[in-house]
């Protein structure tokens, strides 16, 4: 017992020191625009957001030319450990003590929903790129939040619809058991049913599971044509890898990775990942601008090419700074209104807009993972099968149930 108590005290001291370290570096004056990148720096979402998101934010500040315009912009970052309580505490501390003006990124829907709430209370600004739940522009929408890159409705509609329409009409869900997984499962289920398909079963696994064989066996027994993976990051790669081992695809069932990132494909290797269908709003090899961005990004980020989350952070921070410049204020609510009033335009997502409910609108791509023979080398993984136009990619304004929409 004594050992455990001592250990607990030691761990507590260590974690307090760690939290302190992230905040100690900043002293504030009010003519500084302070951006806080709140992300996963140590666990399963690190590669697809993490340090790369911080780097993307720095690129945006640089490209905006803040220094030349005489604007002082600071960026800090912290690890939310995928825990909503840690995330909301960090957000509070950033807003109250460290005078952070805007929080960006925040993968993990559970954490994002918590920070969404805190940001609204404090009248600051929250630009979500990493989290997926469409509730952020639905029942939990806020005048202080913009949901930038993608959401569960878009994923469900893009991937789900494409699969149901090509004959995949009975589904079994493998769902990560937290806000994001539930949202993605729910949205996809709605799409499947709307298009005449049915859901024959589902199983909810804890976040960050290593072994999926038991769940895959249940999916196999269900005889569903499609096994929908409503999870992300390491959970998705492990599911796909082990599904191959258990001969799921050979047995005639197909996998639908509802949220698969470029980094996941890289981690799986094309041999395992080939043929997967997925939806994303950014692919680095789409045009000369995106390629130029990817080259700069990879150079500063261990060679990792940008995921749509990284691109979204860049684009969101750029538009935020433009809005601050135009509105001459960094008051959270006012900047968000300014961001909604101005059309968006950047090299990665092209022209777009931000809707009243906080939804950023741009096209989405339905892509297929290349065969090893089609790929020219590392990171050449996706081929774009179809483009979903901006006005169809996201949930219609009227269907979200956002109280801000009148």
Partner 1 sequence: MEIFGVPSQALFGQLLIGLINGSFYALLSLGLAVIFGLLNIINFTHGAQYMLGAFCAYLLLNNLGIGYWWSLALAPIIVGITGVIIERTMLSKLYKLDHLYGLLLTFGLALIIQGLFRNEFGSSGLPYRIPQELQGAQNLGFMFLPNYRAWVIVVSLVVCLATWYVIERTKLGAYLRAATENPQLVQAFGINVPRMITLTYGFGVALAAFAGVMAAPIYQVNPLMGADLIIVVFAVVVIGGMGSIMGAIVTGFGLGIIEGLTKVFYPEASNTVIFVIMAIVLMFKPAGLFGTQK
The residue among 225, 229, 189, 192 whose CA lies nearest residue 212 is 229
- Is-contact 102 126, C-beta < 8 A? yes
Shortest Cβ 10–partner 1 spacing (Å): 7
Sign of CA dihedral 9, 11, 13, 16: negative
Shortest Cβ 50–partner 1 spacing (Å): 7
User: What is the rounded CA–CA span in Å between residue 53 and residue 61?
Assistant: 13
- Taking the least distance from each CB to partner 1, the nearer of 44 and 141 is 44
- Taking the least distance from each CB to partner 1, the nearer of 33 and 174 is 174
What H or E segment, with its residue span, contains residue 110?
helix 109-122
User: What is the rounded CA–CA span in Å between residue 159 and residue 394?
Assistant: 13
Contacts by 90-96 with C-beta closer than 8 Å and gap 24+?
Answer: 90/19, 90/22, 90/38, 91/36, 91/38, 91/115, 91/118, 91/119, 92/118, 92/122, 93/19, 93/23, 94/23, 94/36, 94/38, 95/119, 95/122, 95/124, 96/122
Shortest Cβ 263–partner 1 spacing (Å): 5
User: What is the rounded CA–CA span in Å between residue 141 and residue 172?
Assistant: 30
Shortest Cβ 395–partner 1 spacing (Å): 28
Q: Rg for the chain (alpha carbons), in Å?
A: 21
Shortest Cβ 84–partner 1 spacing (Å): 17
- Taking the least distance from each CB to partner 1, the nearer of 7 and 384 is 7
User: What is the rounded CA–CA span in Å between residue 111 and residue 91?
Assistant: 10
Shortest Cβ 280–partner 1 spacing (Å): 16
Length of the chain: 406
- Taking the least distance from each CB to partner 1, the nearer of 85 and 245 is 245
- Taking the least distance from each CB to partner 1, the nearer of 108 and 117 is 108
- Taking the least distance from each CB to partner 1, the nearer of 206 and 343 is 206
Shortest Cβ 1–partner 1 spacing (Å): 10
Three-state secondary structure call for residue 250 = coil
Give one DSSP letter per residue of 183-213, joined into a string.
Answer: HHHHHHHHHHHHTT-EEEEEEEE-SS-S--H
- Taking the least distance from each CB to partner 1, the nearer of 2 and 406 is 2
Vertex 285: Cα angle to 279 and 289 (nearest 5): 115
Shortest Cβ 229–partner 1 spacing (Å): 15
Binding interface with partner 1 (CB under 8 A): 3, 6-7, 10, 42-48, 50, 177, 203-206, 208-211, 213-215, 217-218, 220-221, 233-234, 237-238, 241-242, 245-247, 251, 263-264, 266-269, 271-272, 302, 304
Shortest Cβ 55–partner 1 spacing (Å): 13
CB neighbourhood size of 121 (10 A): 12
How far from 273 is each of 57, 308, 309, CA to CA, in Å? 30, 18, 20
- Taking the least distance from each CB to partner 1, the nearer of 82 and 133 is 82
Three-state secondary structure call for residue 344 = strand
- Taking the least distance from each CB to partner 1, the nearer of 54 and 74 is 54
Shortest Cβ 108–partner 1 spacing (Å): 14
- Taking the least distance from each CB to partner 1, the nearer of 250 and 406 is 250
């Amino acid at each position: 017992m004594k050992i455990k108590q001592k250990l607990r005290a030691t761990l507590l001291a260590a974690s307090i020191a760690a939290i302190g370290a992230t905040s100690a570096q900043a002293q504030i004056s009010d003519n500084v625009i302070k951006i806080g990148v709140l992300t996963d720096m140590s666990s399963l979402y690190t590669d697809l957001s993490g340090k790369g998101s911080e780097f993307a934010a720095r690129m945006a500040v640089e490209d905006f030319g803040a220094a030349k315009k005489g604007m002082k912009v600071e960026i800090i970052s912290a690890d939310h450990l995928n825990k909503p309580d840690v995330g909301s505490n960090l957000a509070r501390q950033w807003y109250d003590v460290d005078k952070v003006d805007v929080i960006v990124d925040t993968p993990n829907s559970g954490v994002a929903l918590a920070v969404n709430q805190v940001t609204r209370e404090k009248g600051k600004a929250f630009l979500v790129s990493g989290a997926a739940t469409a509730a952020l522009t639905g029942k939990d929408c806020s005048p202080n939040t913009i949901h930038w890159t993608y959401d569960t409705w878009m994923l469900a509609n893009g991937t789900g619809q494409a699969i149901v329409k090509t004959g995949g009409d009975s589904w079994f869900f493998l769902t990560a058991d937290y806000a994001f997984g539930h949202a993605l499962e729910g949205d996809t289920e709605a799409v499947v049913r709307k298009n005449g398909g049915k859901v024959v079963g589902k199983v909810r696994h804890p976040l960050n599971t290593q072994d999926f064989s038991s769940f895959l066996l249940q999916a196999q027994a269900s005889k569903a044509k499609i096994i929908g993976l409503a999870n992300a990051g390491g959970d998705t790669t492990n599911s796909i890898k082990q599904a191959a081992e258990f001969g799921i695809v050979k047995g005639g069932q197909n996998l639908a990775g509802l949220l698969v990132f470029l980094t996941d494909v890289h981690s799986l290797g094309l041999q395992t990942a080939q043929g997967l269908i997925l939806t994303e709003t950014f692919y680095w090899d789409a045009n000369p601008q995106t390629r130029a961005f990817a080259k700069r990004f990879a150079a500063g980020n261990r060679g990792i090419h940008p995921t749509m989350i990284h691109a979204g952070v860049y684009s969101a921070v750029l538009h935020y700074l433009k809005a601050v410049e135009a509105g001459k204020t960094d008051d959270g609510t006012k900047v968000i209104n300014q961001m909604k009033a101005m059309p968006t335009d950047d090299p990665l997502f092209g022209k777009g807009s931000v809707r009243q409910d906080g939804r950023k609108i741009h096209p989405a791509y339905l892509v297929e993972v290349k065969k090893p023979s089609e790929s020219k080398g590392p990171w050449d993984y996706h081929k774009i099968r179809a483009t979903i136009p901006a006005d169809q990619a996201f949930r219609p304004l009227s269907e979200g149930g956002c109280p801000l929409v009148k």
